[in-house]
Structure 1
Amino acid sequence: MTNEVLTPEEMAEVDRKAIARGPLPGIGLMGNAGSAVAQVALERYPQASRAHILCGPGNNGGDGYVVAKLLKEAGMSVSVWADHPPRAGSDAALAAADCPEPVQALAGFAPESGSIVIDALFGAGLSKQVEGNDAQAISRCAEAKVPIVAVDLPSGVSGKSGKVLGAAFQADVTVTFVRKKPGHLLLPGRSLCGEVIVADIGIPDDIVTEAGPRRFENGPALWMAEFPFLELDTHKYRRGHVGVFSGGPTATGAARLSAMAAARAGAGAVTVLSPVDALVANAAHLTSIMLRPAETLQEIGDFLRERRPDALVYGPGLGGGPETGALLIDMLTEARDYLQAIVLDASALTSLARQADAFFVVSTREGAPSIVLTPHEGEFGRLFPDLAADKALSKLERANAAAMRAGGVVILKGADTVIAAPDGRAVINSNGTPLLATAGSGDVLSGLVAALLAQHMPPFHAACAGVWLHAEAARRFGPGLIAEDLPLALAPVLRELLYSSGCSGDCVSRFLPKV
């Protein structure tokens, strides 16, 4: 697998193990890294009048010295700039000694029109604020609007969190090594990387596996083996039954969006659980989706016992008052034997923020149903205020801590959505689109995830698949998208996904007609 995301600490461990195991020493790996960057610079900017290579004192700077030597040998005019020499005896010092270009003080750096800049100041392990001559160099590049090729990560971006530490380059292309780092995928780092190229520098995949990475970039390769396929002898209830709770007569649309998404995503049966005074409003808009009155704990319990739904959606359109959270806690307590999985969104999360401790007691109790929470940053901050306020935590770390506390999967939404499991796994979604910034799109996501849960996809995989499919449907649809478009927009994405999954023969023909 190549979708692992390595933290800076894990990458350092991979480097150490690769050097210890051989056959390449550290300077050999550095040579390969510098060669990958130089190749990109020559391919992308063959007409550049000069390459300015900015070198820091660590291994990132060592890569820069290799780049300078190779570009010079290729016939490009080169200038090397640095404030501090590499540590004596280090691989970077060996690379600097092998570089024929004189090193100029960084304070005098001023890029000219027609040149390019190779940013080799700091790599993914940066943990301090960028200031002084380094920050001035970043500012001068921005003013000159010259192309930037970043080595590993644009200097100033934290590889751990994607946050900007003081100042950061806006790269046109970033060449990283072995695997991506969180800073390539989390905002604002992702927007500063430009195109990201992952270069092979000779470190085998098994060394990456030994590092035990727990973070991944989202995509079908991560969850396709768990994706539900239809069997010839299936029937609607074997495809899963989803129950969706509706709000009152003026707030029924959110539940119907969730219900339709659940149906489009493969649930064989979907029931909207409606307050009595909203039955007419819901009935006017529902055809294949069933409708049932259920507003008291007794009525809900009767439904759960009689119909045994495989997954529920609770929250969209329900209102954020304390009664919403109280009913959920009672349901999780008294009807837990009949609950298998539940997706919590919108008003449920807002309401639970007022009774979070009571919720965490029942959500983490032995025998509790599988729970998926889908907060955006505002809802997350209300439900987990201490985690949201801790600026030292990355989005990955916040989501993981929340998942552990809640005993369920957390989908922390945004342009860089993170999906986290209580066991420490986390996935960063990279196909997000601003087209999803429209009312109701989150309701669709909840129904989509519930449908996958109802088809017995493991909760973490269902959440990852749901987020990716949701974004992909929006991207394929394009401008003009509203939430009502999303359920139907899932159909071609599902079709292509299944045909391209490597699943051939009966497993595809059973699901889709040939076209």
Structure 2
Amino acid sequence: MRVVTAQQMREIEKQAIEIFGIPSLLLMENAALAVVREIEHFAADKSSKGSLKTIVLVGKGNNGGDGLAVARHLLILGMDVTVFSFAKPEEYQGDAALNCQLYQNAGGRFFLIEGEKQLRLTRLALQQTDIIVDAIFGTGLRGALPSLVQEFVEEVNHTGAWVIAVDIPSGVEANTGKIYRSAIRAQTTVTFGLPKLGHFLAQGPEYAGRVIVDPISIPDKFLEQEEVSTFVLTDDEVKSFLPVRTLQGHKGTHGKGVLVAGSPGMTGAAILAGRSALRCGIGLLQIVTPQQAASQIDLGLTEATIWPVDGDHTLGNQSWPLIAEKCSSAQALAIGPGLGQNPDFISVLEEVLRTVELPVLLDADALNLVAREPGILGWRQGRGPLIMTPHPGEMARLCDCSTQEIQDNRLEIAVTKAVEWGAVLVLKGSVTVIASPDGRAFLNPTGNPGLGTGGTGDVLTGSILSWLAQGVDPLEAACLAVYLHGKAADELAREVGWSGFTATEVADQLAKARRSLELI
């Protein structure tokens, strides 16, 4: 599904109105009905809709007009509704003005918030309400909320009410997801046409909650514009990336992958990556590792073939002949988990980038070594697919900047560097960004804080290696692996919550996550 900026969505709506002829009032009405449907779903679990108290917060723009239309429909359904407005009735214009009039004509309660006095009077009402609809600001907000609205928002966030945001929570920038001081913290957000970047970037996901996308009757031809280059992954799209197996398949046809990983004290990283690759269905897995780590990895991963390298505790330039030999009969190569940072291995990375035509995945310590000699990435141009999977700290080292700079500009930096390096770049985080060398970017909606534990990055590396070895396109393999990685964590979280599950459990859950996708 495409993800757009506020400006892109406004242009799409403009075209739908001017070219297709959809009245703007109809779009506003459809938006309101989409919000009302979600409120009805919430109310269906309660004994009586009529007993639920609802407060609708509105501003003077079109977002406020949406909120006023929501209030009118809830009133007609028999719910106890009050509108708290930060604009006088005469300040509304166009469709919003009409919806303000219609709401008042229906006998709806309208309470104007003009200053601290009204804020004090509304505190009790906020504490006693069941549902709060946020329609103060829409996608046009930039910067901080006005001080009066900010105080009101903080009061809302301290209630026990169920909060639903219209289009995007007030205080969240639609293009960046950034929040200045405060914003509405919603449990559900209903957005219109297409999701906005701010639903997935920075603090946006934390404040938007569950995001529902409603097309509000805008035809697909307007929503599927080619100039939109950012997408959010969905079940249907990712399902199409899964390789199809036949009854005639065997280990030789299910792909052979080479994993260069491990060192004494870091054998778990190699085991986790290998376990994940096997759980994702790789036919044959070969692991190149130092002699001192080989026996422990062999015990921990009996299904893989272990190829030890004599010499130092960490792999150095003496490992290249064995890596080259194993790559000659493989379909994919991954380097990095638990590797260690022997400077001699930089020459091996250079040889890999310069000569190996297989898809090559660099992770963890391989990326840290590249950060010492970033110029070696130039050897890869035109020689074969490259996938890089940095977390924000590794990305900061690769870009020679601070981790905060990476976090503040995740999408822009990921796309810029993917194009510059000619690589599929997987920038890990709460919403992982998968950027393509052609400038497209994919945002992953699966996953949860439970993935913030040691070893889960190694699990992701093994999964990508497995899909690459099975012949999945590099960009699709990265998207598939990231999505299933998060989906596995989400399934575990439903059992034990956002903490307490391990990387091993995530690896073991991957097969079930894949199967659940196949059955959709």
- Superposed pair shares fold, TM > 0.5: yes
How far the C-alpha of 1:192 sits from its partner, in A, is 1.6
CA distance in 1, matches of 2:438, 2:339: 30
How far the C-alpha of 1:460 sits from its partner, in A, is 1.1
Kindly provide the CA deviation profile for residues 55-107 of structure 1, in whole angstroms up to 9, marking residues without a partner as x. Answer: 22322122123223333444434234124778776433443454426562342
CA distance in 1, matches of 2:212, 2:266: 46
1:128 and 2:146 correspond: no
State the partner residue of 1:104. Answer: 112
1:172 and 2:187 correspond: yes
How far the C-alpha of 1:443 sits from its partner, in A, is 0.9
1:63 and 2:61 correspond: no
CA distance in 2, matches of 1:267, 1:141: 50
Residue pair 2:395, 2:406 contacting (<8 A) in 1 also: no
Over the aligned positions, Cα root-mean-square deviation in angstroms equals 2.8
How far the C-alpha of 1:297 sits from its partner, in A, is 4.5
State the partner residue of 2:10. Answer: 12
CA distance in 1, matches of 2:251, 2:12: 48
CA distance in 2, matches of 1:178, 1:256: 44
2:255 pairs, out of 229, 240, 259, with: 240
Taking structure 2 as the reference length, the TM-score comes to 0.86
2:361 pairs, out of 329, 338, 343, with: 343
SS at match of 2:228: coil
Residue pair 1:324, 1:347 contacting (<8 A) in 2 also: no
State the partner residue of 2:96. Answer: 92
Residue pair 1:297, 1:331 contacting (<8 A) in 2 also: no
SS at match of 2:224: helix
CA distance in 1, matches of 2:322, 2:341: 25
CA distance in 1, matches of 2:491, 2:477: 21
Q: Write the mapping of 1:136-175 to structure 2, written as runs, cut at 5 A.
A: 136-175=151-190
1:54 pairs, out of 38, 41, 57, with: 57
Whichever residue aligns with residue 305 of structure 2, its letter is: M
Indicate how the Cα distance of structure 1 residues 474 and 150 shifts in structure 2: closer, same or farther if over 3 A, else same. closer
How far the C-alpha of 1:392 sits from its partner, in A, is 9.8
1:330 pairs, out of 342, 351, 369, with: 351
CA distance in 1, matches of 2:337, 2:21: 57
State the partner residue of 1:459. Answer: 474
Moved more, 5-14 or 276-285: 276-285
Indicate how the Cα distance of structure 1 residues 271 and 30 shifts in structure 2: closer, same or farther if over 3 A, else same. same
How far the C-alpha of 1:242 sits from its partner, in A, is 0.8
Q: Write the mapping of 1:369-408 to structure 2, written as runs, cut at 5 A.
A: 369-386=384-401, 390=405, 394-408=409-423
State the partner residue of 1:507. Answer: none
Kindly provide the CA deviation profile for residues 399-457 of structure 1, in whole angstroms up to 9, marking residues without a partner as x. Answer: 21221222111111122222221222222222202332222121111011011011111
State the partner residue of 2:312. Answer: none
SS at match of 1:343: strand
Residue pair 2:298, 2:304 contacting (<8 A) in 1 also: no
Kindly provide the CA deviation profile for residues 285-319 of structure 1, in whole angstroms up to 9, marking residues without a partner as x. Answer: 44331122345556534543563321111111112
1:361 and 2:382 correspond: no
Number of residue pairs the alignment of both structures matches = 492
SS at match of 2:373: helix
Whichever residue aligns with residue 331 of structure 1, its letter is: V
Instruction: List alignment gaps of at least 5 residues for structure 1.
Output: 502-515
1:415 pairs, out of 426, 430, 433, with: 430
Identity %: 33
Kindly provide the CA deviation profile for residues 322-358 of structure 1, in whole angstroms up to 9, marking residues without a partner as x. Answer: 444443123312xx2x3311111111122222222x1
CA distance in 1, matches of 2:443, 2:257: 27
How far the C-alpha of 1:48 sits from its partner, in A, is 5.6
State the partner residue of 1:256. Answer: 271
Indicate how the Cα distance of structure 1 residues 60 and 344 shifts in structure 2: closer, same or farther if over 3 A, else same. same
1:289 and 2:297 correspond: no
